[in-house]
Amino acid sequence: MKLRTKFIFFAVVLHVLLAIMAYFLLQENKWLFIGMELLVLFSVVLTVNLYNAFFKPLNLIRAGIESIRDKDFSTKFVQVGQPELDELVDVYNRMIEQLRQERVAQAEKHFLLEKIIQASPAGIILLDFDGRIESINPAAERFLYLSGQSWQGSELATLPNTWARELTQVQAGQPYTFRLNGIRTFRAHRAHFIDRGFQRAFIMIEELTEAIIKNERQAYEKVIRMMSHEVNNSTGAINSILDSVQFYTPQIDEEHREDFTYALQVAIDRNANLSRFMANFADVVRLPAPSKKPVQVQALLKRLERLMLPQLEQRQIKLSLKLPDAPLCIPMDEQQIEQALLNILKNAMEAVKSDGNIWVELQERPLCLTISDDGEGIPEHVRPKLFTPFFSTKETGQGIGLTMIREILLSHGFRFSLESEENGLTSFRIHLTTENSK
């Protein structure tokens, strides 16, 4: 039974008893009856006042509770002139004002945090209480190539490419660095925060590619320049001495002249090979900034096909071109891109060796050039090192080819990848658009 019901029941019983007593007094003394009636009337008035005094604060509290339940922190009460009730009104108004200010401050902080997350250059993947993806900020979408796709509610293990494998290995409080496609390097952090009393996780991803490539380039440029200077100085002096020694060949005995000439030629050839070796490294350092002009990509690819045709026929390798009918003109340095594509095709041809296939496909949407082969593929342990400067798996390789390809494509702002796929093909993909042109 509610307190209000109890009070009304008590008041009704009390006044019924007073009315009965007044009835009996009417039988004995009408003046006592009149006095009793006045007492009953006074009691009714007092009871009504007490009822209002007791239950008006309760009504106020109930209205305040309803406002709080509805998250309406703008409603306040005015004083009524009753000290006890006015004190309650003051307490409620101060409390609701504090709640309102805290709610506004929390909303402003939440809005600021959302803006920071959306504008952050670091990728952020927010997980829900079950460890599933709740949201991905734009930077993470760019890193994972998830633009326009919804991954809300998905597991980390369902992310595309090698991201699933790498991100599932990230442990809380332990920065994890990994490389994708041999070129893009990332560092991931996993941390926790408290949401509504429960622990939730998020993953922050930073791309280190640009900084690492810059440091690598500065290091090998300095080393190559120093080596080139020393080698050229030495080979120049040696060449001069060898040329002078050749002058004395007719003075050598006939018996030893052939051996002398052979040994001298070996020294000259090795000296020339050393000069060419250093020149190849120096070409990477001296690579100029691209001079971009509109180039019709289909014509460039057909020219490369004609150039490679004799070697392909000799190895019995079939080259297939799949090009769109409409001409595609893209700003690029034609000479540099031609050199990069030629190196890619040569690598594919060496991977196939003989009696295989190379496919070249140019797509309009997205604007992408793919060169695939059905060769041996890339070993798992080699993939992270593919575009490491001057790394080579060939016994006599210098690792210059992929390094030059990397430098040319990076200077053009083209994203690229080289990987062996599940269908057995090894594909080199070049996205012929820059981030700024999207």
**Structure confidence at residue 131 as a pLDDT band (50, 70, 90):** confident
What's the mean per-residue pLDDT of the chain? 80
**Structure confidence at residue 391 as a pLDDT band (50, 70, 90):** low
Q: What is the pTM of this model?
A: 0.58
Percentage of the chain modeled with pLDDT above 70? 86
pLDDT of residue 397: 58
**Structure confidence at residue 258 as a pLDDT band (50, 70, 90):** confident
Look at residue 68 and tell me whether its pLDDT is greater than 80.
no
- Among 64, 67, 72, smallest CA distance to 91 is for 64
**399 or 156, which is more confident:** 156
Look at residue 331 and tell me whether its pLDDT is greater than 90.
yes
* Pair 143, 186: CB distance under 8 Å: yes
**In CATH, what is the architecture of 293-437?**
2-Layer Sandwich (3.30)
Which CATH code of 3.30.230.10, 3.30.450.20, 3.30.2350.10, 3.40.120.10 fits the domain covering 120-207?
Answer: 3.30.450.20
Average pLDDT (285-306) is 87
Cα dihedral across residues 31, 33, 37, 42: positive or negative: positive
Express each pLDDT in 166-190 by its tens digit. 888 888 888 998 887 767 888 999 9
* Pair 177, 208: CB distance under 8 Å: yes
Q: Measured between alpha carbons, how far is residue 265 from residues 236, 237, 262 in Å?
A: 16, 16, 5
* For the chain, domain boundaries: 3-110, 120-207, 212-285, 293-437
Express each pLDDT in 269-280 by its tens digit. 877 877 777 776
